[in-house]
Amino acid sequence: MGLRIIYWLRHAKTGHDGQEVPASTMPMVKAVLGQLAELDLALWSEDHGPRVRVDLAGKILVTGAPHPEDASGQAVLAGSGELDVLEPFPTKQGKGPHLVHPRPMLRIVPGKLGGSPHVVHTRLESRALGALAQRGMDTAKIYKLYPRFSKAAIRQAIDLEAQLERNLHPVAA
């Protein structure tokens, strides 16, 4: 979440009124990261959690939690000029996945497996499956190694890891 917030705040944006908003200063970015650090990561589970947004002023907004208010007690209003930190995130290198539901059968839960993507309601990390595929193991063999997991979940894990690898190492133009 922090990296997405930094990237978004450090680039110019267009506000809801059509005016260009300059990149945020580093002190503002540090303040927003401090707000993020205070966020209760125990709010997330395998099945649901709050939405996290940051507005143009650098305020973290949490919605979908028991109290849909920000830390100052102001009601959260949906609108443009906000970054939904959890949603898929486009950059020049590629598109980052959703930070809680990267694929239908995969989850990222803060505090579980160090926040690593994994097959829903298991401890099988997508990076383990992706590493096998990246080293040349046929998917049929991977399915045999993990017979209790659905083929769809394994395919999704391999696909996510391939997407992340492409994002980290884009092909030179």
Q: Domain of 144: which CATH number? A: 1.10.10.10
Q: Are residues 117 and 150 in the same domain?
A: yes
Q: Are residues 44 and 74 in the same domain?
A: yes
Could you report the per-residue pLDDT of 150-165, keeping only the tens digit for each? 999 999 999 999 999 9
Q: Are residues 79 and 104 in the same domain?
A: no
Helices (H) and strands (E) in the chain, counts: 5, 9
> How many domains would you assign to the chain?
2
Answer with the one of 87, 104, 133 that is the final residue of a domain: 87
Question: In this structure, what DSSP letter does residue 48 have?
Answer: -
* Six token digits for residue 132: 């096998």
Answer with the one of 31, 58, 87 that is the final residue of a domain: 87
Q: Does residue 161 lie in a domain region?
A: yes
CA dihedral 108, 111, 113, 114 (to 10 degrees): 90
* pLDDT value for 98: 92
Q: Does residue 154 lie in a domain region?
A: yes
Residues in the chain with pLDDT values less than 70: 65-80, 170-173
d(CA 136, CA 129) in angstroms, rounded, equals 11
* pLDDT value for 74: 33
Q: Are residues 35 and 83 in the same domain?
A: yes
Q: Are residues 58 and 12 in the same domain?
A: yes
Q: Are residues 83 and 13 in the same domain?
A: yes
Domain extent for 125: 95-168
* pLDDT value for 80: 55
* pLDDT value for 171: 63
Cβ atoms of 31 and 54 within 8 Å: the answer is no
Question: pTM for the whole thing?
Answer: 0.77
* pLDDT value for 95: 86
* pLDDT value for 48: 84
Bridge partner residues of 53 (DSSP): 61, 84
Q: Are residues 72 and 102 in the same domain?
A: no
d(CA 22, CA 14) in angstroms, rounded, equals 9
* Cβ atoms < 10 Å from Cβ of 15: 12
135 exposed, middle or buried (CB, 10 Å; 0-12, 13-18, 19+)? exposed
Q: Are residues 28 and 82 in the same domain?
A: yes
Q: Cα-flanking dihedrals φ and ψ of residue 70, to 5°?
A: -85, 180
Answer with the one of 37, 61, 87 that is the final residue of a domain: 87
Bridge partner residues of 51 (DSSP): 63
Q: Are residues 46 and 116 in the same domain?
A: no
Residue 138 CB partners (closer than 8 Å, separation 6+): none
Q: Does residue 173 lie in a domain region?
A: no
Q: Does residue 15 lie in a domain region?
A: yes
* pLDDT value for 39: 83
